[in-house]
Amino acid sequence: MLAEERFSMILQLLKEKRTATVSECSEITGASEATVRRDLNLLHKQGRLIKVHGGATILDNTFVMGERDVSTKSQLNVEEKKRIAAYAARQIEEEDFVFLDAGTTTLYMVEYIANTNAVFVTNGIEHARRLMEKGARVYVVEGHLKTGTEAITGSQTVDCMMRYNFTKAFLGMNGVSVRAGYTTPDPEEAMVKITALKKSYITYVLADHSKFGKVSSVSVAPLSGASIITDRLIDGVYREHTAVREVSDL
């Protein structure tokens, strides 16, 4: 069998399963495991798959164009987002100084935040209002209020955030990818997330399963830059890059 025929069979297997072991690739191609390993290394160098320990995973290259408005996003994967939000809220401790990113999953977090001495900084208007109703001490960053996502963004926002040192930050993302890391479609919102990540001791990215394997136009950080809280992890390769907490059973 020619090498290109083996490559085609391996890539088709990955398309169907997303991940495959060396032994699985060996079985379908009839080639030795040593040959398969060489094939996987070459395909990885060609950018056609991602080589991982013991096998390979599909190249996650689904590009996300644009962004839905808050009203639309709030209706997607609601139960999954609430489980993620409930777990994330339990990570907040007394005396924490928290940055809470604008977004639907972070907004659900407010429902689960009990009486606390933690102080919050947010770029979400609705987040601030609901935190205030709960009696929390909250600061709203200055900047431009973006229609659609209802997030405060811009250079003023970044300048304001640079004055703070957060113990924890909770961020939303549009895409989570091995190649591109954490991504979002808006450059100004990306700068807010980048600043929050840089100024926080611990950063959590809240992402339901639909965000994985997606790439948006602006990179915020590599996967290692934050821990992930998700409802379920479809591909174990992400654990090789950062800490991941699945909350599907919680």
Flag the least confident range among 40-54, 94-108, 188-202, 227-241. 40-54
Tokens of 109: 């977090």
Residue 208: strand, helix, or coil: coil
What mean pLDDT is predicted for residues 81-109?
Answer: 96
- Per-domain residue ranges for the chain? 3-59, 63-246
- Would you say the pTM of this structure is higher than 0.85? no
The reported pLDDT for the residue numbered 231 is 94
Selection from 15, 13, 10 nearest residue 33 by Cα: 10
3-state secondary structure of 140: strand
- The pLDDT, as a whole number, for residue 114 is 86
Token pair of 118 as six digits:
């933690």
| Domain pair 3-59 / 63-246, same fold | no
Residue 63 has, within 13 A of its CA and on its CB side, a CA count of: 4
Predicted local distance difference test score (pLDDT) of residue 14: 86
**What is the third-level CATH fold of 63-246?**
Rossmann fold (3.40.50)
For the chain, give me the number of helices (H) and strands (E)? 9, 17
Mapped onto helix, strand or coil, the DSSP state of residue 95 is coil
pLDDT score for 150: 85
**Average of pLDDT values for 168-195?**
94
According to DSSP, the residues that pair with 143 across neighbouring strands are none
Query: What is the per-residue pLDDT across 25-49, written as a single tens digit (0 to 9) for each?
Result: 999 999 999 999 999 988 887 767 8
**Per-residue model confidence (pLDDT) at position 75:** 55
- Mind listing the pLDDT tens digit for each residue in 47-91? 678 788 888 887 665 666 556 555 555 556 789 999 999 999 999
- What is the CATH class of 3-59? mainly alpha
Read off the tokens for 90.
């339990």
